[in-house]
Amino acid sequence: MGYLLDTHTMIWYFDRDVKLPARITEIIDNPENSIFICSASLWEIAIKVSINKLNLPFSELLNKVRVSRFSLLQPEIQYLSKVIELPQIHKDPFDRLLIAMALVEKMAILTADENIHRYDAVKWIW
């Protein structure tokens, strides 16, 4: 199965943060599962680090992503077209892109974000 990591999920996974439930870590660690990260999540983190809204060693995070078995998804036309079709439940552009990617690719998003949970069409776990 394919799983798309929400931004906080990726951060907590690589930091081995206790806020990440064990069952989510098990899903991510299972080599039978395909795990995806959106490059826009890395962009979101870079923005937040640069304006001091998030404090983490960004270069270390990038290195962890590079050596992981995870696949990096780029925003592509079919995802951007799907963003426009989404209901206006909330306005976070990064979340909306993740939702669109998950819908197009038929993946589940691993997330604790209740705004994402409000989208009926997208499959999410947590």
- What would the mean pLDDT of 71-99 be, rounded to a whole number? 96
104 band by pLDDT with thresholds 50, 70 and 90? very high
Per the structure, the complete domain to which residue 25 belongs is given by: 2-125
| Chain segment 27-80, per-residue pLDDT in tens | 999 999 999 999 999 999 999 999 999 999 999 999 999 999 999 999 999 999
Q: Residue 118: pLDDT above 90?
A: yes
Q: Residue 1: pLDDT above 90?
A: no
**36 and 107 in contact (C-beta within 8 Å)?**
yes
Q: What is the pLDDT of residue 89?
A: 94
10 band by pLDDT with thresholds 50, 70 and 90? very high
CATH assignment at residue 85 = 3.40.50.1010
Q: Where are the beta strands (DSSP E) in the chain?
A: 2-5, 34-38, 71-73, 108-110, 123-125
* Eight-class DSSP state of 70: P
**Domains in the chain, number:** 1
Indicate whether this model's pTM tops 0.75: yes
